[in-house]
Amino acid sequence: MKPSSPPTLSQHLCYKLYSTSLKMTQLYKPLLAPLNLTYPQYLVMVVLWEEEGIGMKDLAERLDQDAGSVTPLVKRLEANGYVIRSKNPHDERNRILTLTKAGKDLRTAGLEVSQQIASLCALSSTKADSLMSNLDVLNDNLGEVLHEA
């Protein structure tokens, strides 16, 4: 039997994800301001703290973004003295990203931000792990649907 009316706003998964994402970003903003980072820049730094020396294309892929969206973030991080973009000797169209000393030193503050956010979320590690696992499944499913289109 088909429903007679569309789901309410609160019954839309897309709205729950959107609303939660906005709140999460709002939580990060005051914590990142002293580090001179925006939330998208922070995500770039998280990837580079995890794997330094990757190319712009790999960075964009890790962030599920296109290179054109990531380039302005990286340029700003470079202007702030956190990142160096170098030519890739194997692919002149791709730049290799390395952290400066300031970028490496920022990692400790980044860890503190991550710990503060985890505390503010007030989820047990089990619930947080489960939520992330479910979101990974959803993300993969949506990626497959978009790939088929």
pLDDT digits 0-9 by tens, 93-145: 778 999 999 999 999 999 999 999 999 999 999 999 999 999 999 999 999 99
Task: Report, at the CATH architecture level, how domain 32-148 is classified.
Answer: Orthogonal Bundle (1.10)
User: CA torsion 61→66→67→71, rounded to 10°?
Assistant: -110
| Residue-level pLDDT at 1 | 63
pTM above 0.85, yes or no: yes
Given a contact cutoff of 8 angstroms between Cβ atoms, the answer to whether 93 and 101 are in contact is no
Confidence of residue 4 (pLDDT cuts 50, 70, 90): confident
Q: Where are the alpha helices (DSSP H) in 1-149?
A: 13-32, 39-50, 56-62, 67-79, 101-121, 125-148
- Report the 10 Å Cβ neighbour count for 79: 9
Mean pLDDT of 48-75: 94
Q: How far is CA 90 from CA 51, 75, 87, in A?
A: 19, 21, 9
